Amino acid sequence: MAPVVLWSDALIWLLVAAALAFAWGSRRNPLLRAAWQRVGRSRTGMASATVLLFYVCVGLLDSLHFRPRLESGETQIAASSERKPAVYAVQVLSLLDAVLSPLRTRSEKTYSEPLATRAHAKEAIELRDASGRVRQIRDYPRLQYGGAHLGADETRRDADIGERLLRALAIALLVWWALAAATATALARIEACSHVEAWRRIWCNETGFACNAVLAVIAALLLVGIALGQLAVDYHVFGTDKVGQDVLYQVLKSVRTALVIGLVTTLVMLPLAVFLGVVAGYFRGWVDDLIQYLYTTLSSIPGVLLIAAAVLMMQVVIDTHPQWFATAAERADLRLLALCFILGVTSWTGLCRLLRGETLKLRELEYIQAAQAFAVSDLRILARHILPNLMHIVIIALVMDFSSLVLAEAVLSYVGIGVDPTMISFGTMINNARLELAREPAVWWSLAAAFVFMFTLVLAANLLADAVRDAFDPRLAGAA
């Protein structure tokens, strides 16, 4: 197979590298380290961080792309012409696709309910009876893959599901127990106490890190994850959509889109907001007037309108230059990045205004005047005195904006100006579910699955944002 690096992949891994570098830098700075330790002690914060980490892992798995090598039809020809260059598929797959290939490939004809063995709607089925005569009946057709291992004995389905759940529970307990024991051993070694004592400290929350919350969340994740895995092998756990694709697969693919929108957009927005805000607040005068004029104008244009116009223009450019893209995935990816860029350029005003106000306050502080009295250059004052004292606002805004951007993507895709239609995202899933809900009987599962996954992601991000704000806000953190 041939690896493919999409633009968004590069940005995502760049972000991961930046986050690691920041974490390493934080370890060396005692103030930042103390703040992150406060986050580590917060139980809701660490619980939501664990959930987020799960999402991030899914997203990262989905960010390693490759084109699979096409197997030549006749092996003898392949053997005779070994020097012929390998042929790769047009389709770009990710590591996640490879892991989930059973889910990806086992498509039914159309809708089926979660865990169903038969389709959602009746169809005319041709049956050949004993006499060899073809008879037409209307019934729910049997699914091609869902519950196929049961054979004709469909009544065994409930017992089978129960059995699988029990097995999942047992495995989850076993894995979790091993993890918890390993944690306790590690703690016992670090704090030089007995194993039992370490165990007690974890559950009485007397450690410097909210271990108990993390372990509890891991237990829940393991339970749900292993149960899903056990069931997904032979069933469509969340049912299938209109074209028969597994909804669980779609939901997992949506995670990456949401993360890219949330993270890359802030990456675009942050330098603009920080630079313009700080410069406006520090230099005042005509610079301030200009920047204020810019963001006041920008924020008075209705946001959706501006984004719609930009997205439509971008779409025209992409459609008129098909030669730019080798694969459909590249085109969808560029469109996603362009959306991030447009969202970023239109949403920096809020943070910019906040930072300008804070800088106005900071520049009157005496340590800034002391630096001016030392003839320290303005840029140096900005970098050494103003920016570090704004960092808490930036971090808080970053984490809080993430969740609102994930939601914004869903709204924009619903309106039809979001990501490429071929790209799976929470927004496109909800958009498709719009008409399904109007059917009778309603097709509710695809909307419900998208809702549950997005809700968990945004809730975890919001809770983490709260914990981060509490830890970084100097007024809440107590003695500064």
Residues at the interface with other proteins (CB under 8 A): 30-31, 365-367, 369-377, 380, 384-385, 388-389, 474, 479-480
Closest contact distance (angstroms) between CB of 477 and other proteins is 10
Closest contact distance (angstroms) between CB of 302 and other proteins is 26
Decide: 238 and 115 in contact? Cβ < 8 Å: no
**Cα torsion through 420, 426, 432, 436, rounded to 10:** 170
Residue among 15 and 294 whose Cβ is closer to other proteins:
294
Packing angle between helix 285-300 and helix 247-283, nearest 10 degrees? 150
Q: Can you say whether residue 413 is alpha, beta or left, with left for phi > 0 and alpha for psi between -120 and 50 degrees?
A: alpha
Closest contact distance (angstroms) between CB of 23 and other proteins is 18
3-state secondary structure 315-349: HHHHHHCHHHCCCHHHHHHHHHHHHHHHHHHHCCH
Residue among 102 and 474 whose Cβ is closer to other proteins:
474
Closest contact distance (angstroms) between CB of 196 and other proteins is 22
Burial 260-273 (b: 16+ CB within 10 A, else e): bbbbbbbbbbbebb
Residue among 365 and 411 whose Cβ is closer to other proteins:
365
Q: From residue 255, give the alpha-carbon distance in Å to each of 10, 227, 341, 405.
A: 17, 20, 19, 13
Rounded to whole angstroms, the Cα distance separating 307 from 59 reads: 25
Burial label for 341, CB within 10 Å (0-12, 13-18, 19+), is: middle
Question: DSSP letters along 241-301, please?
Answer: -TT--BHHHHHHHHHHHHHHHHHHHHHHHHHHHHHHHHHHHHH-HHHHHHHHHHHHHHHHS
Closest contact distance (angstroms) between CB of 195 and other proteins is 24
Residue among 102 and 388 whose Cβ is closer to other proteins:
388
Closest contact distance (angstroms) between CB of 430 and other proteins is 43
Residue among 44 and 315 whose Cβ is closer to other proteins:
44
Task: Record the tokens describing residue 468, joined without a space.
Answer: 């981060």
Closest contact distance (angstroms) between CB of 30 and other proteins is 7
Burial label for 315, CB within 10 Å (0-12, 13-18, 19+), is: middle
Residue among 163 and 206 whose Cβ is closer to other proteins:
206
Closest contact distance (angstroms) between CB of 398 and other proteins is 18
Residue among 367 and 455 whose Cβ is closer to other proteins:
367
Closest contact distance (angstroms) between CB of 367 and other proteins is 4
Rounded to whole angstroms, the Cα distance separating 436 from 18 reads: 42
